[in-house]
Every structure is written in structure tokens, then in C-alpha cells.
């Protein structure tokens, strides 16, 4: 994504220019959150499941290098070809080299947030390779020439009427039709052609098992399977944090993932890949791209436990009213706001502040990442590294001075209340963001300090 001029607050303000869309976005995602609650309530041992999954991830991250080597060894023994990519650029080059070797200028791709993070589509497009996203939501945003706004529901910011217009333009559906069944069927026919004519399929990876060299891809549409089974070359791209030690650990995560994401008991397709079929090549790309740096940040290490369910987005009061694009990064919402500053602290300095620190994200997280506490900690790191504005620093220093000096505090309070009472126009104007949509509090005649001194002074 190109560097955006507006920060989260500015982009969120833009999103709020259409209040009806905000209502619809909020209610749609709250409905998903409610489905998640219902699914979780159906599992009496839910909290123990979260605790266990969190523990498995903590253990894996603490021994990541050993598990990565074990996975590589097992995958090679299975007949897969394993590649290591230090960053997004290396990952993209590996994919390109595999395409060039196969003399392919077309590729199909199932959902992979990692390739969004690496901006793979743009990279390949600039080099003459056409990528078709086969996940319906991803296909929609691809046709819109937009990034996904949500990691599980990529086109959740768009209404079905808008999809109707889009599909009429690209897939020749009848003009004015917004019937979901008709639109889905048109996408299905179009993608069927893609599946049959592309020879290279890239998939993401939800879980990779160190013990066996297998990996699991979860989709609701079966599109990863359609691609991987029909293509001669299957490329699986995964972040190095996707590992779990053993096959027996998988059950914990599969039970948590979709219940947290959409309220389904399990994804429609949880596809296990182990070895290439006869004549097929299976490539696995292990991508670092900042993950080992994050692993070294003690306060933020556990963010790598994330299994990309999106529950923190659905529950976030800010995300629901600001839209995924306001986060100007591949992974939006609360989890994105603690991952992105690791990649570029300056560019994403606004994101840890795009939160009320309400803590709901931490409570829905299936692997118990303390997201809101990490948002607070990132704020401290960003300020210490000089990525907050000079004006803000000056006002904070002023505030710290007033609040550490009782006399100054009481004088300032008195002055402030005097202004509110006698010259309210000083604060009740367009320059005060509070006043834009809210009235100021009615200033009382005296502070509690004054009341107390008058009424109880002798007793203190």
C-alpha cells in the first residue's frame, strides 16, 4: 500500500461521513461477535481451551528455531521443497522465480494475509504475472482494486448492492441485481474457469505441524483445495509463527479458530497437506519478515501467538466504527495495531492510539494475547522513540507540571471553571474537538477541594 497522508483518526473521520454505512458496518460485525459468543458459550471448557492453546503457542515460540528445523526436515522427507525468506522482498522473489521456472504468467491464490503483508499481487503484476484471488471476499476486493478491510471477511466494508454493480461490470451479471445467490453463482462459474486453466496455486497456511511436516489450510469455500489439487505447482506461504509442535495439538486450535472467527463450530474445509501428489511440486516458503524481531521484544512477543481469527476486530468498538482501511495496514484492528509498529514504527505510530483500551479484544482472543496491554506499551515505546508530535509532547509536559503541583492544579481548575462559566465561547467552538458533537460539562460553583475545605476542613 502506498504511504497514506492521513492517520487512523483522519481516515476514520472519513469513514464516519456516511453514518448509515457506519451503522451497518457496526451491526454486521456485532452480529458476528454475537455468533462467536453463542458458539463459545456452547463449550463449557472454553476458557481452559484458550489457556491451553495459549500455552502451546508460548511453548512453540520459546523453542521456535528448533521446531522450524524439525518442520523443515519432516517436510523435506515428505517430498516438499522448503524455502526460507528473511523478508517480504525475498518471499516475493521466491514466488516469482518459481513462476518463471514453470513458465507461468498466471497464478491463483487462496486467502493468505501473509501475501497481503508482502504486497505480492502488486509485485507480480508489475512483473507481468496475473494473480487471481479465489476466496470470494478477496476476489471482490481485488476487482475493486482495494486491499481487504478484514482478515476473515475481506469485503465486509461493502454492501451487496455495491457487489452487484461490481459484478455487472466484471462478470456480466444483470444490471441492478444484488441477489447474493445470483452473485455468488456468477463468481463460482468465473472461478471454476480459473481453477481449470491455472497451473500454479498459492495457498496460505493456518497451522504447520513440526513433528510431521504437514500443514493445514482452513477455508469455507474449498477454494484452497480446488487450486492445490488441480495445479501442478502448489506454493504454500507461511509466517514462521504458524507452527505447532504436534498433530495432537491441532484439535485445540481448530476448535477455537472458527468459533472465534464466525461462530461456526469448524471451518467447512480444514484441509491437511503432507506430500505432493505424483508429478506435482509442493513448495513451502517460511517467511520471517519482522517476526524474529518481534520475538525478541519481550513485551510484544506473545502477539505472534495470533491465529488470525479476527475476533478482536469484530468486538472492537473502534474497528466497527472506523472500518478496516482506516488502519492502513494489511492486518487491521487491535491485533494489527500491535503487529504493525514492529514492521515500521514511524508509519504505524498512530495505530496503538486508535483504541479506547477497553480490553474486549483481550477477552475474545482465543490464544489470550493481552492485546490492550500491548497497545498501552506500544504507546510508551512510540513516544520514547520520538514518533509523537511536538505539540502533544509539550501539552503532556504542561499537564504533568500542573498535576504534580497541588497549588497550580487548584488554581488552574478554578481558572478553567471560571472560563466555562463566564466565557464559554473560549471552549465551546469548532477548535475544541469535544464540543463538535458533545456539550461541555456544566461548571459547578466550586470544586470538591473548595467544598471540603469549607465544610470539613478542620477534620483533614
Site for other proteins in 402-421 (CB under 8 A): 402-406, 409, 413, 416-417
Q: Please list every residue from 420 through 439 that binds other proteins, using CB under 8 A.
A: 432-434, 436-439
Q: For residue 280, how many other CB atoms are within 10 A of its CB?
A: 16
- Tell me: does residue 453 bind other proteins (CB under 8 A): yes
Q: Applying CB under 8 A, what is the total number of residues that bind other proteins?
A: 79
**Which listed residue (4, 21, 28, 30) binds other proteins by CB under 8 A?**
30
Among 327, 10, 34, CA closest to 157: 327
Q: Which three cell numbers stand for residue 172?
A: 456480466
- Tell me: does residue 322 bind other proteins (CB under 8 A): yes
- Tell me: does residue 440 bind other proteins (CB under 8 A): yes
At 177 the three-state DSSP class reads: coil
Nearer to other proteins, 86 or 394 (CB): 394
Q: Please list every residue from 38 through 67 that binds other proteins, using CB under 8 A.
A: 40-41, 43-44, 46-47
For the CA atoms of the chain, what is the radius of gyration?
A: 25
CB of 26 to other proteins, least distance (A): 7
d(CA 128, CA 458): 83
Sequence-distant (≥ 6) Cβ neighbours of residue 85 within 8 angstroms: 91, 94, 285, 286, 287, 288, 289
- Tell me: does residue 230 bind other proteins (CB under 8 A): no
Q: Is 389 exposed, middle or buried (0-12, 13-18, 19+ CB in 10 A)?
A: exposed
Nearer to other proteins, 9 or 96 (CB): 9
Report the half-sphere exposure of 356 (CA within 13 A, side-chain side): 10
- Tell me: does residue 297 bind other proteins (CB under 8 A): no
Judged by CB under 8 A, which stretch of 89-97, 158-166, 336-344, 401-409 contacts other proteins? 401-409
CB of 389 to other proteins, least distance (A): 10
Nearer to other proteins, 58 or 357 (CB): 357
234 backbone dihedrals φ, ψ, rounded to 5° = -110, 120
- Tell me: does residue 6 bind other proteins (CB under 8 A): no
CB of 339 to other proteins, least distance (A): 18
**Which listed residue (77, 89, 266, 400) binds other proteins by CB under 8 A?**
400
- Tell me: does residue 451 bind other proteins (CB under 8 A): yes
| Cα–Cα separations (whole angstroms), residue 170 to 51, 128, 163, 196, 248 | 46, 21, 10, 19, 45
Nearer to other proteins, 285 or 371 (CB): 371
- Tell me: does residue 314 bind other proteins (CB under 8 A): no
Q: Please list every residue from 336 through 375 that binds other proteins, using CB under 8 A.
A: 352-360, 362-364
CB of 251 to other proteins, least distance (A): 18
d(CA 418, CA 208): 64
**Exposure string (b/e) for 433-450, b if CB count within 10 Å is 16 or more?**
eeeeeeeeeeeeeebeeb
DSSP secondary structure code for residue 299 in this structure: T
Judged by CB under 8 A, which stretch of 93-101, 278-286, 287-295, 397-405 contacts other proteins? 397-405
CB of 7 to other proteins, least distance (A): 10
Dihedral sign, Cα of residue 160, residue 318, residue 351, residue 55: negative
CB of 321 to other proteins, least distance (A): 5
CB of 14 to other proteins, least distance (A): 9
Q: For residue 36, how many other CB atoms are within 10 A of its CB?
A: 24
At 270 the three-state DSSP class reads: strand
Asked whether the beta carbons of 180 and 191 are under 8 A apart, the reply is no
Nearer to other proteins, 167 or 300 (CB): 300
Amino acid at each position: 500500500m502506498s504511504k497514506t497522508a492521513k492517520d487512523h483518526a483522519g481516515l476514520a473521520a472519513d469513514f464516519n461521513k456516511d453514518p448509515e454505512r457506519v451503522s451497518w458496518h457496526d451491526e454486521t460485525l456485532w452480529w458476528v461477535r454475537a455468533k462467536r459468543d453463542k458458539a463459545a458459550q456452547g463449550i463449557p471448557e472454553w476458557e481452559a481451551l484458550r489457556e491451553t492453546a495459549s500455552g502451546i503457542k508460548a511453548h512453540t515460540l520459546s523453542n521456535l528455531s528448533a521446531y522450524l528445523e524439525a518442520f523443515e526436515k519432516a517436510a523435506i522427507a515428505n517430498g516438499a521443497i522448503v524455502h526460507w525468506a528473511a523478508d517480504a522482498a525475498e518471499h516475493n522473489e521466491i514466488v516469482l522465480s518459481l513462476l518463471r521456472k514453470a513458465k507461468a504468467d498466471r497464478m491463483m491464490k487462496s486467502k493468505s494475509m501473509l501475501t497481503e503483508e508482502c504486497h505480492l499481487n502488486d509485485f507480480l503484476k508489475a512483473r507481468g504475472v496475473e494473480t487471481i484471488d479465489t476466496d470470494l471476499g478477496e476476489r471482490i476486493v481485488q476487482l475493486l482494486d482495494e486491499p481487504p478491510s478484514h482478515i476473515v471477511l475481506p469485503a465486509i466494508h461493502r454492501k451487496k448492492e455495491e457487489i452487484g454493480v461490481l459484478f455487472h461490470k466484471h462478470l456480466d451479471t444483470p444490471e441492478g441485481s444484488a441477489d447474493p445467490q445470483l452473485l455468488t453463482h456468477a463468481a463460482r462459474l468465473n472461478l471454476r474457469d480459473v481453477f481449470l486453466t491455472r497451473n500454479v496455486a498459492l495457498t496460505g497456511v493456518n497451522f504447520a505441524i513440526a513433528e510431521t511436516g504437514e500443514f493445514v489450510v482452513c477455508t469455507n469455500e474449498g477454494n484452497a483445495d480446488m487450486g492445490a489439487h488441480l495445479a501442478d505447482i502448489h506454493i504454500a506461504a507461511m509466517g514462521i509463527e504458524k507452527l505447532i509442535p504436534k498433530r495432537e495439538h491441532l484439535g485445540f486450535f481448530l476448535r477455537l479458530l472458527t468459533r472465534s472467527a464466525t461462530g461456526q463450530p469448524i471451518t467447512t474445509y480444514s484441509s491437511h497437506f503432507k506430500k505432493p501428489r505424483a508429478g506435482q511440486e509442493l513448495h513451502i516458503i517460511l517467511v520471517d519478515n519482522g517476526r524474529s524481531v518481534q520475538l525478541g521484544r519481550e513485551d510484544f512477543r506473545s502477539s505472534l501467538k495470533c491465529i488470525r481469527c479476527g475476533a478482536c476486530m469484530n468486538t472492537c468498538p473502534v474497528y466497527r466504527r472506523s472500518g478496516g482501511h482506516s488502519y492502513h495496514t494489511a492486518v487491521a484492528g487491535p491485533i494489527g495495531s500491535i503487529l504493525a509498529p514492529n514492521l515500521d514504527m514511524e508509519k504505524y505510530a498512530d495505530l496503538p492510539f486508535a483504541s479506547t483500551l477497553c480490553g474486549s479484544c483481550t477477552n475474545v482472543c482465543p490464544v489470550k494475547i493481552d492485546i490492550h496491554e500491548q497497545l498501552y506499551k506500544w504507546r510508551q515505546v512510540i513516544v520514547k522513540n520520538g514518533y509523537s508530535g511536538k505539540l502533544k509532547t509539550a501539552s503532556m509536559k504542561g499537564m504533568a507540571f500542573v498535576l504534580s503541583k497541588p497549588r497550580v492544579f487548584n488554581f488552574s481548575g478554578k481558572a478553567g471553571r471560571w472560563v466555562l462559566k463566564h466565557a464559554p465561547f473560549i471552549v465551546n467552538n469548532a477548535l475544541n474537538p469535544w464540543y463538535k458533537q458533545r456539550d461541555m460539562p456544566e461548571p459547578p460553583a466550586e470544586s470538591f477541594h473548595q467544598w471540603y475545605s469549607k465544610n470539613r476542613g478542620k477534620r483533614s
